A and B are shown apart, each in its own frame.
Chain A
Amino acid sequence: MDVQAYIESGILELYVAGALSEDESREVTRLSLEHPEILAEIQAIESAFHRLGSSLAPAGTRFDFESVRQRIQADPSKGQAGTPGVRTLEPRRKPWATWAGWAAALVLGAGLIWMASERQRLQADVQVLQQDNQFLEQQVEAAREALAGTDSLMRELRDKNISVVPLDGQQVAPEAYARVYWNRDSGQLLIDAIGLPEPPPGMVYQVWSLKLDPLTPTSLGLLEDFASEENRIFALPNPNESEAFGITLEPAGGSETPTLEQLYTLGAV
Chain B
Amino acid sequence: MAAFKELHSRYAPNICGVIHTILRNRERAEELTQDVFVKIWDYRFSYDASKGRFFTWILNIARNAAIDELRSKSHKEQQLNLHTTFFVDMAEEQEEQTFGVDMNRVKGLIRGLGKKCHQIIELLYFKGLTQKESSDFLDIPLGTVKTRVRNCISRLRKNLVY
Residues of A at under 8 Å CB distance from B? 8-11, 13-22, 25-26, 28-30, 42, 44-61, 63-65, 67-69, 71-72, 78-85, 88
Chain B residues with Cβ below 8 Å from A46 are: 53, 55
Asked if residues A50 and B55 are in contact (CB atoms below 8 Å), the reply is yes
Chain B residues with Cβ below 8 Å from A58 are: 16, 20, 26, 29, 99-101
Q: Is B1 an interface residue (CB 8 A)?
A: yes
Chain B residues with Cβ below 8 Å from A19 are: 124, 128-131, 134
Chain A residues with Cβ below 8 Å from B101 are: 55-59
Q: Is B150 an interface residue (CB 8 A)?
A: yes
Max count, chain A CB within 10 A of own CB: residue among B5, B56, B128, B134: B56
Query: With A48-B153, A56-B101, A57-B101 in contact, do A64 and B160 touch (Cβ < 8 Å)?
Result: no
Q: How far is the CA of A38 from the CA of B100 in the complex (A)?
A: 36
Chain B residues with Cβ below 8 Å from A56 are: 17-18, 20-21, 87, 90, 101, 106
Asked if residues B110 and A57 are in contact (CB atoms below 8 Å), the reply is no
Contact of B56 among A18, A84, A88 (CB under 8 A): A18
A-B contact pairs, 10 of them (CB 8 A): A9-B146, A10-B146, A17-B59, A22-B51, A44-B157, A56-B90, A59-B97, A67-B34, A72-B4, A82-B43
Query: With A65-B9, A79-B45, A83-B46 in contact, do A45 and B106 touch (Cβ < 8 Å)?
Result: no
Asked if residues B9 and A79 are in contact (CB atoms below 8 Å), the reply is no
Q: Tell me the nearest residue of chain B to A46, going by C-beta.
A: B55
Chain A residues with Cβ below 8 Å from B80 are: none
Chain B residues with Cβ below 8 Å from A28 are: 52
In the complex, which range does the number of interface residues on chain B fall in?
35 or more
The A interface is mostly helix, strand or loop, or mixed, namely helix
Q: How far is the CA of A159 from the CA of B78 in the complex (A)?
A: 116
Q: How far is the CA of A261 from the CA of B29 in the complex (A)?
A: 117
Contact of A53 among B15, B56, B149, B153 (CB under 8 A): B15
Query: With A14-B149, A16-B55, A26-B50 in contact, do A79 and B26 touch (Cβ < 8 Å)?
Result: no
Asked if residues B160 and A48 are in contact (CB atoms below 8 Å), the reply is yes
Query: With A11-B146, A57-B16, A83-B43 in contact, do A63 and B9 touch (Cβ < 8 Å)?
Result: yes
Max count, chain B CB within 10 A of own CB: residue among A18, A20, A85: A18
Max count, chain B CB within 10 A of own CB: residue among A26, A44, A54: A54
Q: How far is the CA of A42 from the CA of B33 in the complex (A)?
A: 24
Q: Is B44 an interface residue (CB 8 A)?
A: yes
